Amino acid sequence: MLQIDDTIISLDLFDKCFVCDLNACKGICCIEGDAGAPLEEEEIGIIEELLPVIWDDLSEVSKEVINRQGVSYIDEEGEPVTSIVGGKECVFTYTDSDGICKCAIEKAYREGKTDFYKPISCHLYPVRIQKYYDFEAVNYHRWKVCDCAFKLGSKLQVPVYKFLKEPLIRKFGEEWYEQMEIAEKELKEI
């Protein structure tokens, strides 16, 4: 483990490799699972305000779920997560012309319709953040549906933290990320 400011970071972020391979997995991480994606409290209001922008990209069943329960619910651990369809699929998914499941929120961002990229937990995957009283644990999460990303990352030799540079900076800031780069150099010397 490594500590930077009030974060405790798993060394797996340096040791494991990862690069998303959407052509292989077709975005299955947004479809599989037993709960929605974790949300930060402020993200719920942002997503609610974005609904008119992304509404036409959502499936009819997603719209029904959102109309019935909203954009989020509280999971078994008492945390807010995105609403899901059929106990699995995120309500914010859509399928593109290549058959790849993608995020309607991210699509709106890429089209310049919002400055909100997507929930930070989605942007950070395969990293998961666990909040504790006086620190946040930054852990690597291994999920079988992402085996193709582990293979591609290993082939390209891209550590998890380098693949996630943009979302890690979004979450923790430039200085924090620079400390990760310094830590990697020091770890290589050991």
**Could you state, in order of their start, the residue ranges of all structural domains in the chain?**
1-18+126-190, 26-122
Average pLDDT over every residue of 169-188: 92
pLDDT digits 0-9 by tens, 97-136: 888 889 999 999 999 999 999 999 999 999 999 888 899 9
pLDDT digits 0-9 by tens, 26-56: 888 888 877 888 999 999 999 999 999 999 9
Buried-state track 144-166, b at ≥16 Cβ within 10 A, e below 16: eebebbbebbeeeebbbbbbbee
Q: How far, in Å, CA of 78 to CA of 65, rounded?
A: 20
Question: Does the pTM exceed 0.75?
Answer: yes
Give the closest residue to 169 by CA, choosing from 178, 156, 160, 157. Answer: 178
pLDDT digits 0-9 by tens, 71-94: 999 998 889 999 999 878 899 999
The residue written with tokens 């651990």 in the block is 77
Tokens of 14: 């340096």
pLDDT digits 0-9 by tens, 126-169: 999 988 889 999 999 887 878 889 999 999 999 999 999 999 99
pLDDT at 189 over 90: no
Q: In this predicted structure, what is the pLDDT of residue 28?
A: 80
pLDDT at 1 over 90: no
Q: In this predicted structure, what is the pLDDT of residue 176?
A: 95
Give the closest residue to 51 by CA, choosing from 97, 85, 82. Answer: 82
